[in-house]
Homo-oligomer: A and B are copies of this chain.
Amino acid sequence: MNIKIGILGYGNIGRGVETALRDNPDMELAAVFTRRDPSQVKILSENVPVISVSEIEAWKDKIDVLLLCGGSATDLPQQTPFYAKMFNVVDTFDTHAKVPAHFAAVDRSAKENGKIAIISVGWDPGLFSLSRLYGNVILPDGKDYTFWGKGVSQGHSDAIRRIKGVKNAKQYTCPVESAMRAVRNGENPELTTREKHIRECFVVLEDGADAAYVEKQIKTMPNYFAGYHTVVHFISEEEFDRNHQGLAHGGFVFRSGNTGKEKEHKHIIEFSLKLDSNPEFTTHVMAAYARAAARMAREGQTGCKTVFDIPPAYLSEKSGEKLRSSML
């Protein structure tokens, strides 16, 4: 019997889940829940109802796993503990510093209600976290390096758009090639986040705006750009619309370590992603972890889990036997 999936929130992530389920024939979309007027939400799937979130409780027994597709800033800290009372849930909570508090709240709620909740699913946190963990346990004497990009940083793009005179803007985070090369060569450099990344900005100005002023405001913005190698390009609205609508992203995780009697041997573990669509890739990761959530729930497991707790085989619809003969 197929795993019945609910989507809560129909933005980029919700739409991504919907297409991801098409690639996973053992799962099916049961319903989309929205805070908007359901009659105004047009989804891709035929014969799948769009339901007001106010009626979600009636679906308690009709859904195996609810995928929470809201944002980490305000939605998920509320939603995940709340919906883990009624459903097995998966979220993409990605505020690294707040993971412990989020985990505690979700764990309490899920355990009290006999549900499974898998949080912080995606690629960072998610697959990158797994790479860091495998790298650290295999090469305890070593260093970690995470590079992001090339990809759009939504928060930084928003920050530029708040500057007076800016009509539209997109900020790309790009890894510094020479820093990556040093890591690949096993040089074990000391690198701050600022030394590992360039911030490249594409800005459309309002009519009559002062380019020099805008550029200075960007480059000196505390926390966001000050201290970074920041490149600003002013472009036309046409060029912006033509070339900067994408949601590509990616990044690299390295573990560089030494082994041997005299620590004479170097080893480099490298994991990287090159993604045309950040939300679609993220939601494909979610779909695989939804499968694991359904299996853990069937086994009677409860509480909050992360990617660290899930045996890799639980992500696959294939039997252990089939996995061993085809992929080991």
The reply to whether A138 and B285 contact each other, CB–CB distance below 8 Å, is yes
A316 at the binding interface (Cβ < 8 Å): yes
Q: 22 pairs across A/B with beta carbons < 8 Å?
A: A24-B140, A96-B328, A100-B321, A127-B134, A133-B313, A133-B323, A136-B316, A137-B291, A137-B315, A137-B316, A138-B285, A260-B280, A264-B276, A265-B275, A265-B277, A268-B272, A269-B273, A308-B311, A308-B320, A308-B324, A309-B320, A312-B312
The reply to whether B261 and A324 contact each other, CB–CB distance below 8 Å, is no
The reply to whether B280 and A273 contact each other, CB–CB distance below 8 Å, is no
Q: Which residues of B contact A133 (CB under 8 A)?
A: 312-313, 315-316, 323, 327
A73 at the binding interface (Cβ < 8 Å): no
A233 at the binding interface (Cβ < 8 Å): no
- A132-B327, A184-B274 known; 8 new pairs, CB 8 Å cut-off, are A99-B324, A100-B325, A125-B328, A137-B315, A268-B275, A308-B323, A308-B327, A311-B311
Are A328 and B312 CB-contacts (below 8 A) given A44-B261, A277-B260? Answer: no
Q: Which 9 A-B residue pairings sit nearest by Cβ, starting from the closest?
A: A265-B276, A308-B313, A137-B288, A265-B277, A137-B315, A259-B280, A268-B274, A23-B140, A132-B327
